[in-house]
Amino acid sequence: MAKIVVLGAGLGGVIAAYEIRKKVRRQDEVIAVNETDFYQFVPSNPWVLVGWRDREDIVVDLEKPMKKRRVQLVVGAAEKVEPENKRLRMTDGSFVDYDYLVIATGPELAFDEIEGLGPNGHTQSVCHIDHAEAGYKAFEEFCNDPGPVIVGAVQGASCYGPAYETAMIIETELRRRKIRDKVPMTFVTSEPYIGHLGLDGVGDTKGLLESEMRDRHIKWICNAKVQKVEADKMIVEEVNEDGSTKEIHELPMKYSMMLPPFRGVPAVRDIEGLVNPRGFVITDKHQRNPKYPEVLGLGVCIAIPPVGKTPVPVGVPKTGFMIESMVTAIAENLGQIVRGKEPTHEATWNAICIADFGDGGVAFIAQPQIPPRNVNWSVSGGWVHTAKIGFEKYFLGKIKAGRSETFYENAALNLLKTYKLK
**Residues with active-site annotation:** 159, 353
Can you name the residues that pair with 355 across neighbouring β-strands? 362
The sheet carrying 95-97 orders its strands as: 78-82, 87-90, 95-97
Distance CA 356, CA 163 (A): 11
Helix (H, G, I), strand (E, B), or coil: what is residue 23? helix
Nearest to 355 by CA among 212, 191, 190, 149: 212
Nearest 5°: the CA angle 81, 86, 89 is: 40
Nearest to 379 by CA among 161, 162, 206, 204: 204
The sheet carrying 255-259 orders its strands as: 218-221, 185-189, 149-153, 255-259
Distance CA 115, CA 312 (A): 18
Strands (E), 2-99: 3-7, 29-34, 38-40, 59-61, 72-75, 78-82, 87-90, 95-97
Instruction: Name residue 313's amino acid.
Output: P
The number of helix segments (H) and strand segments (E) in the chain equals: 10, 22
Distance CA 321, CA 115 (A): 34
Q: Could you tell me which residues come within 8 angstroms of residue 341 by beta carbon, excluding any fewer than 6 positions away?
A: none
Can you name the residues that pair with 75 across neighbouring β-strands? 34
Distance CA 245, CA 235 (A): 13
Phi, psi (deg, nearest 5) at residue 43: -60, -20
